[in-house]
Amino acid sequence: MAALLTGKVAFITGAARGQGRAHAVRMANEGADIIAVDVAGKLPDCVPYNPATPEDLDETVRLVEATGQRIVSTIVDTRDYDGLREAVDSAVADLGRLDIIVANAGIAAPQVWNEITPASFRDVMDVNVTGTWNTVMAGAQHIVDGGRGGSIVLISSAAGIKMQPFMIHYTASKHAITGMARAFAAELGKHAIRVNSVHPGAVLTDMGSGDMVAAIGRTMETNPQLANMMTPFLPEWIAEPEDIANTVCWLASDQSNKITASAISVDQGSTVY
């Protein structure tokens, strides 16, 4: 059976580890070359988990190269519009084209509503919303110029379908991404570019490292009746990054060539009720 993405090039943000790395490796295994971007450094002060490192991004490069595909990696913050565009322009010049964008980079910060500061609200919105917009803007024109159509996948969250308790800024940002995907789908459709959002539930990544679990626990203690709002239908409470990557890869491929402006949940059923 032919690989799903042979000859294509995918631009992925937040690619140093977790879901971003899983997307890069999955797509490389399906024949795509990869443009990998990550901040690989300090995150905003409101984020309680450990940041990715340059060594994490190097490992993504190693794993993609082990598939036989090419990869161009850059350390850049998705909030840096000019830096992101320069990174993508340079990588497309090296790899020859762009077909797929996966706007994966994002942050989460558990905080009770009256403990969210203007700075933390702004940081979450800047990374999750502005960073996602920057990502699409850095790459979409290259897909248009290629004249072959393409696929853009914005990684939202179960919080972008339902909500996430004790994360008002995160929930707001992920709902914004849901709408952004639909709006881009409308305008880019004439170029045969499909745009969809993917909505993972809990995923086993380094977002659970550092003080994240303790921070979630502290917020839950303020209102325990909200603790089970994301209970899944399926037996598994948490997905692996590869589970999300399978869906994203399918959306990037021609197998989903009639799907656009859709919000695809990969959350074990946790947002249905």
- What residues are annotated to the active site? 170
Q: What is the C-alpha to C-alpha distance for residues 197 and 104, in angstroms, rounded to an integer?
A: 10
**What are the strands of the beta sheet with 9-13, ordered from one edge?**
71-75, 33-38, 9-13, 100-103, 150-155, 193-200, 263-266
Q: Beta strands of the chain (E only): which ranges?
A: 9-13, 33-38, 71-75, 100-103, 150-155, 193-200, 263-266
- Count how many Cα atoms sit within 13 Å of the Cα of residue 199 in the half-sphere of its side chain: 28
Q: How far apart are CA 208 and CA 63, in angstroms?
A: 23
With CA atoms as reference, report the closest residue to 100 among 16, 177, 15.
15
- Helix ranges (H only) for 96-161 are 118-125, 131-146
Task: Find the distance separating the first CA and the last CA of the chain, reported in whole Å.
Answer: 39
The answer to whether residues 16 and 60 touch, using CB atoms and an 8 Å cutoff, is yes
Encoded amino acid at 199, one letter: H
Best CA proximity match to 34, nearest among 5, 3, 55: 5
Cα 5 off chain centre by: 19
* Residue 77 structure tokens: 């913050």
Tokens at residue 247, please? 């869906």
